[in-house]
Amino acid sequence: MSESTVRKSSAGQPAAVQPLLELRDLDTDIALRRGTVHALDGVSLEVMPGETLGVVGESGSGKTMTALSIMGLLPPGGRVSGGQILFEGRDLRSLPADEVRRTRGVRMGMVFQDPLTSLNPTMRIGVQVAEPLRVHERVGRAEARDRAIEILRRVGMPRPERIVDNYPHELSGGMRQRVAIAMALVCSPRLLIADEPTTALDVTTQRQILELIDDLREEFGMAVILVTHDLGVIAGRADRVAVMYAGRVVETAATEQLFRSPRHRYTEALLEALPESAIRESGAHARLYSIPGLPPDLSRPLTGCRFAPRCRHVTDECRTTDVTLSTGEHQHACLHPVPAAPAAPVTLPAPVRVEPAPEPAATTAKAGQPAATPVLSVRELVKNYAAHGGGLLRRTAGQVSAVAGVSFEVGPGETFGLVGESGCGKSTVGRLAVGLERPTAGQIMLDGVDIASLTGRERRRMHRQVQLMFQDSYAAMNPRMRVDAILAEPLEIQKVGDGTARRARIATLLDQVGLSRRVLERYPHEFSGGQLQRIGLARSLALQPRLIVGDEPVSALDVSIQAQVLNLMRDLQRELGLAYVFISHDLSVVDYMADRIGVMYLGKLVEVGPARDVVRAARHPYTQALIDAVPSITPNATAARDGVTIRGELPSAVNPPTGCRFRTRCPLAQEICETEPPLAGDGHQVACHFPLRPESSEASARAGAAA
Amino acid sequence: MTTLSEAVRPGAAPDQPADAAEAPVRGLWRQGLVVFCENRLALVGLGLFVLLAAVCFLGPLFYHTDQVHTDLTAVHLAPGEQGHPLGTDGVGYDQLGRLMLGGQTSIIVGLAAGILATALGTLWGAVAGFVGGWMDAAMMRVVDAMMSIPSLFLFMLLAAIVTPSVPMLILIIGAFAWLGPARLVRGEALTLRSREYVQAMRGMGGTGGRAVRRHIVPNAIGTVIVNATFQVADAILYVAYLSFLGLGVPPPAANWGGMLSDGLADTYSGHWWLLYPPGIAIILIVLAFNFIGDGLRDAFEVRLRRR
Amino acid sequence: MVRYLITRLGQALIVVVLVTVIAFLILHLLPGGAARATLGKEATLEQLAAFNHDMGYDRPWIQQYGMYVQRLLHGDLGYSYQLNQSVVEAISQRLPKTMVLSLLSTLLAIVLAIPLGVIQAVRRNRWPDYAITSLSLLAYATPIFFMGLMMIILFSQVWPILPPEAPQGFTVAEVLADPAGLILPTVTLAIVTIAVYSRYVRSAMVDNLNENYVRTARSKGLSERRVVLRHTLRNGLFPVITLLGMYLPALFSGALVVESLFNFPGMGQLFWQAALKRDFPILLGVTVIISIATVVGALVADLLYAAVDPRVRLRGSTS
């Protein structure tokens, strides 16, 4: 409160511009069965009219609770226990309930994370969108409908006069999010709060939605609070950023300033933990900086800096002194901040300490021994699923073409990244590779042996060679089994060793993934996401496989935990000579992990090549669009791009387009695209009639050297 | 009748992440026991059941009455008269002693029929769920067909064919109350079969048999046990209905349902001690099993305790 | 939607056929078979043989079943020598009255259970919720006839305002002409139904109140009343329609007990008296008819649900 006043005067802002929203020392508590969680502790923020404030933090940081506190939508048991929420100069906490409701409905709007569940499934779109008008402005039915159509048109819905009569489940995720935005904007609010509005969407859709919010902000002259865990989303869109950690704002500054020169040690560490930073810093595959430990338990009393237990620069003072936000334009709550960078040149972020990159073992495998038999070799893999109608008779309604002729190889010790948006078939490829499903056609060779030719015992032994790592390790572990039983299971199934040998093996595994022996007698529900992922990795390693297929192994984790797991996977690869198939929707993570990348679209591999070439010199228009859509923490990087933008929706896999499957959305498509382009090239292959660029000489040279 | 077991519990509030290394180590059964004991109603239910069972089975050891020979010189004695604490009935049986005897029948029939129904249903549902396909469809249509015959009609039809004795009652109720558990277990088998941890196990080369032994049965057993408690409650009610409808166990055997039905005849003559004690006893034991079932459901729900 | 309709109809048909198979099997598994069941204990062996020959009961089972179904399709459910009446006739006199009782009590239950369930959900884990939950459990644990007796004692003895016996009219109109007599049986039958429905409505409402779309509705600044009534209640009530169908067997079982207690001249009472007299043609006839009524009722409820709930209507199938 006093800080913010000081800030205003010191910044010399004209007194006439009042903040649209000001939070002063906001405290929010959530009562649970066991004790109370102090979700927010003295949060102070300001939002100026027309600006976009990015609120960023990891799960449990309080970013969503801040948004819900402002809107008065806290979950059961939650209440604002202290401070003020000043909106247009009035404290929402002291206004009568009806007044607050009206304010919430007319002057503010909110867009939530999950568009699939955020709309009422049994109400027509038009009725839902126009409901605030009917309630707050007493608009008649016919006019409400017209205005619903109008606002739907403004958020870019095709054929809004038909959409108003549809139900939510008839629309795709991206379209539903547009409806949610239309609903939030129908009363022309002064403030839009978007809570992870694109987290549930694919990157190409994410880009469309973020751009839409940007455009609408200008059009409506409203302020936006963009809440997200994704630093890249913030970097491209927000005017100012507030970083939250453990229920507090730890740093706030203008976006460019914050990313160029972070002051709080947490912000600094968070930026370093991003794969993007590591790649940019050292070009090669440097080790990520990983923040040790876990965020604090907010139901316990905490003293001092909440980041202290995980901080590299911690001193005794940090543990005892309660640090408040500094004053000025760039505020931070850190006793030992990163020295401020000279204001002048806009170059890369402040130098970050990167541990020296160890000699990547993989490169030798990649460039070196071409003669080695691939660990995994997939030839013309096809998987179709029958699309069932419901009910007893289960007539086949058609075929879903999940994987349509995919071929690739993974060498020993190599990481092959498989990227694509949801529904592209990348997970199916993973499941086929580990033998969880049988292909409709095509060949899968493990160490040169066709797994279709294996029978009985051999087939069981085949499972030792290749293991699957799941996105949600909790779901992949029997909740009624202790960790020791979970880790022993693969050994029992494969009849490896006796009891003593197994116990010894499990102990080794725990050491390898950095867990203490004490976890053995515990159950999965007692662990955090990162710990579960370590246990999952340990189980995958138990049989000493040569290949691990990771299906989105870090997608559910926070950035700091993600870095821990990625580093671990890297270390193990080097130690054990593992090969990975790394499946992810997140191009930056795949870019960081993979030696080679394959890009999938609607069941087809459209581009394969060395990671660096695919990401920095994409040849397929779809790959380029994907790369352009990935938000980056380099300020203005997203804005500066003007490459390929794809429009429209992913076609159905029941009746995929003939020829090039991407042609229906491709800006370059011509008649010839109705015939299927082959995957052509030496080292950097592309399946496109009009590749964006020729294969780089470097790539073909490398391929030539390999041949 | 439809059991209350179908009604769903509200979702639990998310707990806070606790660092696993700090919390004390506890087995799942132990954790379940703690949850069960936190549910006061479940403890009340358990206490009630233990109390009623103790009175019925141990009571006669200390409180001797003649429940075989009628005593027409001591009919309809009011409570307290001639050393009968709860009076006597229309043929001179001591009411308290009769309640104990009747309770034995009710509890035995309830438990046995409930367990039989659960066992049959589990078997049927498990086979349908695991085998799937046409087998599943056919087996489930049989369940649908039997379920669409109102159970009381079916019981009475059978009770009219065979003269009911205690074993016969158990068989009749057990043979037709398994439909609910069958549906439940089949659904459970279908969902568990597709769980990721079963897939993970298959990815290690595990067989279907192992999936059933190590993963599906241990996870389904909670649901089955919880359902069994509700089955027991229902079976006790069915015995009461059959007795009321005149197709219960013939005298001198007794059960609470039969005593209650006999008591109906005495409504107008003011012999309240013949009516309320068995009625209240039935209500208490049915409530007890419902409370226990609710408590067990929470205790078995591992996921409920997830962060 | 059409596909769903066809599948659901097919399922119902299969179930009806299976019901007749079960009834047929029970008839022939009877000691002494169908002949003894029909003619009674006093019939001589010759009479039994003659009956078996007349009815074709000496032919192979498959053929017998075919004849049984054929007779069923012609509306012939057999003849009750004890009532000296055809089974169809006996049932057609009683069935409408049972329907009246069931319908009235279901209506009463719906009208009371929905607000009760909504109150419980909105005030969940506070005293109104606990109170209603306790009463529901109590109602559920009490044998219906004991409850009915309590009602009789309370409302026609202690406080004599209602007759203890149901109307004895021969036709539906005559039964309806005595509304006072209908009150106690209807209420008794409704009480357990209310307990089950309100618990279901409560959990459906609680589930829906925890859904994300409710938070969205609140973010629009709607009043709590509008959120509950316009958004949650609709979605919570759609599945209750199928519960109406699923609950039919329990409802009919309850009607059997209530009719016996209040001496209501419906199908349940007919069945009860037949059971005491071992009148098997009536027993089997009533069982088949009541089962078909259940199947048809459940079918109607499911189709109704599919027709009104857009989630099902537009997806074309349910699992």
pLDDT in tens, B48-81: 999 999 998 998 888 887 777 777 777 777 777 7
B212 shares contact with chain A (CB less than 8 Å): no
What's the total number of domains in chain B?
1
- Cβ–Cβ below 8 Å for C275 and B156: yes
A681 Rama sector, left if φ>0, alpha if ψ -120 to 50, beta otherwise: left
Q: Per-residue pLDDT for A408 more than 90?
A: yes
Verdict on whether the full-model pTM lies above 0.90: no
CB proximity under 8 Å: A 434-493 to B: 434-436, 459-464, 467-468, 470, 472, 474-481, 489-490, 493
- Nearest by CB to C256, which of B152, B160, B283? B152
- pLDDT at B2 (0 to 100): 35
What's the total number of domains in chain C?
2
Question: Which of the four pLDDT bands, split at 50, 70 and 90, describes residue C178?
Answer: confident
Question: Which of the four pLDDT bands, split at 50, 70 and 90, describes residue A285?
Answer: low
- pLDDT at A265 (0 to 100): 92
Flag whether B70 is in a domain: no
Mean pLDDT along residues A490-515: 91
Identify the residue with better confidence: C190 or A207.
C190
Going by C-beta distance under 8 Å and a sequence separation of 6 or more, which residues neighbour residue A234?
A54, A56, A226, A228, A241, A255
Determine which of A60-74, A441-455, C53-67 has the lowest per-residue pLDDT on average: C53-67
List all chains that touch chain A, counting a touch as 3 or more CB pairs closer than 8 Å. Answer: B, C
- pLDDT at A189 (0 to 100): 93
Question: Which of the four pLDDT bands, split at 50, 70 and 90, describes residue A698?
Answer: low
Identify the residue with better confidence: A648 or A367.
A648
Q: Per-residue pLDDT for A366 more than 60?
A: no
B265 shares contact with chain C (CB less than 8 Å): no
- pLDDT at C314 (0 to 100): 62
Flag whether C314 is in a domain: no
Mean pLDDT along residues A535-547: 92
- Superfamily of domain A17-122+167-332 in the CATH hierarchy: P-loop containing nucleotide triphosphate hydrolases (3.40.50.300)
Beta pairing class for A396-410 and A376-388: antiparallel
- The minimum CA-CA distance between C97 and chain B, rounded to whole Å, is 18
Euclidean distance between the first and the last CA atom of chain A, given in angstroms as a whole number: 68
- pLDDT at B94 (0 to 100): 82
- Cβ–Cβ below 8 Å for B204 and A523: no
Q: Which chain C residue's Cα is nearest to B291?
A: C137
**A172-229 per-position pLDDT tens digit:** 888 899 999 999 999 999 999 999 998 888 888 888 889 899 999 998 899 999 999 9
| Enclosing domain of residue C77 | 2-87
The CA dihedral of A167, A171, A175, A181, to the nearest 10 degrees, is 20
Task: Note the ipTM here.
Answer: 0.85
B149 shares contact with chain C (CB less than 8 Å): yes
**How far apart (Å, rounded) are the C-alpha atoms in residues C305 and C310?**
9
- Cβ–Cβ below 8 Å for B200 and A470: yes
- pLDDT at C316 (0 to 100): 43
- pLDDT at A640 (0 to 100): 46
Flag whether B278 is in a domain: yes
Mean pLDDT along residues A270-281: 82
Q: Per-residue pLDDT for B305 more than 80?
A: no
B-C CB pairs within 8 A amount to: 160
- The minimum CA-CA distance between A78 and chain B, rounded to whole Å, is 11
**A244-256 per-position pLDDT tens digit:** 999 999 999 999 8
Q: Which of C13, C18, C216, C240 to mutate to test the interface with A (most CBs of A within 10 A)?
A: C216
**How far apart (Å, rounded) are the C-alpha atoms in residues A623 and A625?**
5
- Examine the domain organization and report whether C158 and C197 are in the same domain: yes
- Examine the domain organization and report whether C187 and C270 are in the same domain: yes
Residue B152 with chain C: CB contacts under 8 Å: 252-253, 256-257
Q: Per-residue pLDDT for A8 more than 70?
A: no
Flag whether C315 is in a domain: no
Residue A117 with chain C: CB contacts under 8 Å: 211-213
**How far apart (Å, rounded) are the C-alpha atoms in residues A645 and A665?**
9
Mean pLDDT along residues C287-300: 90
A3 shares contact with chain C (CB less than 8 Å): no
- Tell me how far CA of residue A653 lies from CA of A383, A388, A402, A427, A657, in angstroms: 12, 14, 7, 15, 9
C220 shares contact with chain A (CB less than 8 Å): yes
**How far apart (Å, rounded) are the C-alpha atoms in residues B301 and B219?**
10
Q: Per-residue pLDDT for A365 more than 70?
A: no
Q: Per-residue pLDDT for B222 more than 50?
A: yes
- pLDDT at B246 (0 to 100): 81
- Nearest by CB to A518, which of B21, B28, B200? B21
Instruction: Tokens 């995980």: give the residue.
Output: A310
**How far apart (Å, rounded) are the C-alpha atoms in residues A57 and A248?**
10
**C67-80 per-position pLDDT tens digit:** 888 888 888 887 88
The answer to whether the CB of A33 falls within 8 A of the CB of A45 is: no
Mean pLDDT along residues A485-506: 92
Tell me the pLDDT of chain C averaged across its residues: 85
- Cβ–Cβ below 8 Å for C22 and B146: yes
**How far apart (Å, rounded) are the C-alpha atoms in residues A248 and B162?**
75
B272 shares contact with chain C (CB less than 8 Å): no
Q: Which CATH class is domain A376-385+395-461+582-706?
A: alpha beta
Q: Per-residue pLDDT for C32 more than 80?
A: no
Going by C-beta distance under 8 Å and a sequence separation of 6 or more, which residues neighbour residue B86?
B79, B94, B95, B96, B99, B273, B277
A197 shares contact with chain C (CB less than 8 Å): no
Going from N- to C-terminal start, the domains of chain A cover: 17-122+167-332, 376-385+395-461+582-706
Question: Which of the four pLDDT bands, split at 50, 70 and 90, describes residue A350?
Answer: very low
Q: Which chain C residue's Cα is nearest to A104?
A: C221
- Cβ–Cβ below 8 Å for C311 and A122: yes
Tell me the pLDDT of chain A averaged across its residues: 84
Going by C-beta distance under 8 Å and a sequence separation of 6 or more, which residues neighbour residue A455?
none
- The minimum CA-CA distance between B22 and chain A, rounded to whole Å, is 10
- Cβ–Cβ below 8 Å for C7 and A102: no
Flag whether C316 is in a domain: no
**How far apart (Å, rounded) are the C-alpha atoms in residues C286 and A468?**
58
Identify the residue with better confidence: A638 or A119.
A119
- Examine the domain organization and report whether C54 and C39 are in the same domain: yes
Q: Per-residue pLDDT for A237 more than 70?
A: yes
**How far apart (Å, rounded) are the C-alpha atoms in residues A437 and A434?**
8
**C120-142 per-position pLDDT tens digit:** 999 888 888 889 988 998 998 99
Mean pLDDT along residues B203-221: 86
**How far apart (Å, rounded) are the C-alpha atoms in residues B228 and A268?**
57
**C78-119 per-position pLDDT tens digit:** 788 778 888 888 898 889 999 999 999 999 999 999 999 999
Flag whether C247 is in a domain: yes
- The minimum CA-CA distance between B133 and chain A, rounded to whole Å, is 9
Going by C-beta distance under 8 Å and a sequence separation of 6 or more, which residues neighbour residue A97?
none
| Enclosing domain of residue B250 | 39-59+89-301
Q: Specify the DSSP element, H or E, that contains A236.
A: helix A231-237
Flag whether C163 is in a domain: yes
H/E/C letters for each residue in chain C? Answer: CHHHHHHHHHHHHHHHHHHHHHHHHHHHHCCCHHHHHHHCCCCCHHHHHHHHHHHCCCCCHHHHHHHHHHHHHCCCCCEECCCCEEHHHHHHHHHHHHHHHHHHHHHHHHHHHHHHHHHHHHCCCCHHHHHHHHHHHHHHHCCHHHHHHHHHHHHHHHCCCCCCCCCCCCCHHHHHCCHHHHHHHHHHHHHHHHHHHHHHHHHHHHHHHCCHHHHHHHHCCCCHHHHHHHHHHHHHHHHHHHHHHHCHHHHHHHHHHHHHHHCCCCHHHHHHHHHHCCCHHHHHHHHHHHHHHHHHHHHHHHHHHHHHCHHHHCCCCCC
For the beta carbon of residue A329, count every other beta carbon within 10 angstroms: 12
- Cβ–Cβ below 8 Å for C294 and B241: no
Residue C317 with chain A: CB contacts under 8 Å: 389-391
Determine which of A504-513, B179-188, C40-49 has the lowest per-residue pLDDT on average: C40-49
Residue C222 with chain A: CB contacts under 8 Å: 101, 105, 131-132, 135
Residue A524 is given by DSSP the state: G
Question: Which of the four pLDDT bands, split at 50, 70 and 90, describes residue A701?
Answer: low
- pLDDT at A364 (0 to 100): 41
Map residue B85 onto helix, strand or coil. Answer: coil
Flag whether B273 is in a domain: yes
Identify the residue with better confidence: A310 or B16.
A310
Identify the residue with better confidence: C317 or A419.
A419
- Cβ–Cβ below 8 Å for C316 and A183: no
Question: Which of the four pLDDT bands, split at 50, 70 and 90, describes residue B286?
Answer: very high
- pLDDT at A250 (0 to 100): 94
- Cβ–Cβ below 8 Å for A109 and C219: yes
Tell me the pLDDT of chain B averaged across its residues: 80
Give, in degrees to the nearest 5, the angle at Cα C247 between C242 and C248.
Answer: 105
- pLDDT at A341 (0 to 100): 66
- Nearest by CB to B149, which of C19, C137, C192? C19
- pLDDT at A283 (0 to 100): 58
CB proximity under 8 Å: B 49-88 to C: none
Q: Which of C208, C211, C219, C311 to mutate to test the interface with A (most CBs of A within 10 A)?
A: C219
List all chains that touch chain B, counting a touch as 3 or more CB pairs closer than 8 Å. Answer: A, C
Identify the residue with better confidence: A360 or A65.
A65
- pLDDT at A342 (0 to 100): 60
- pLDDT at A204 (0 to 100): 82
- Nearest by CB to A493, which of B19, B23, B206? B206
Flag whether C175 is in a domain: yes
A-C CB pairs within 8 A amount to: 99
Q: Per-residue pLDDT for C226 more than 50?
A: yes
The answer to whether the CB of B219 falls within 8 A of the CB of B237 is: no
A-B CB pairs within 8 A amount to: 105
CB proximity under 8 Å: A 375-394 to B: 392
- Nearest by CB to A297, which of B16, B25, B302? B16
Residue A179 with chain C: CB contacts under 8 Å: none
Determine which of A383-392, A539-548, C175-184 has the lowest per-residue pLDDT on average: A383-392
Domain with residue B245: its CATH number is 1.10.3720.10
What single-letter amino acid sits at C104?
L
Q: Per-residue pLDDT for A393 more than 90?
A: no
Give Dmax (Cα) for chain C: 84
C278 shares contact with chain A (CB less than 8 Å): no
B196 shares contact with chain A (CB less than 8 Å): yes
Q: Which chain B residue's Cα is nearest to C143?
A: B237
The answer to whether the CB of A120 falls within 8 A of the CB of A143 is: no
- Cβ–Cβ below 8 Å for A467 and B202: no
Question: Which of the four pLDDT bands, split at 50, 70 and 90, describes residue A321?
Answer: confident
- The minimum CA-CA distance between B45 and chain C, rounded to whole Å, is 13
Question: Which of the four pLDDT bands, split at 50, 70 and 90, describes residue A300?
Answer: confident
- Cβ–Cβ below 8 Å for A525 and B302: yes
Flag whether C319 is in a domain: no
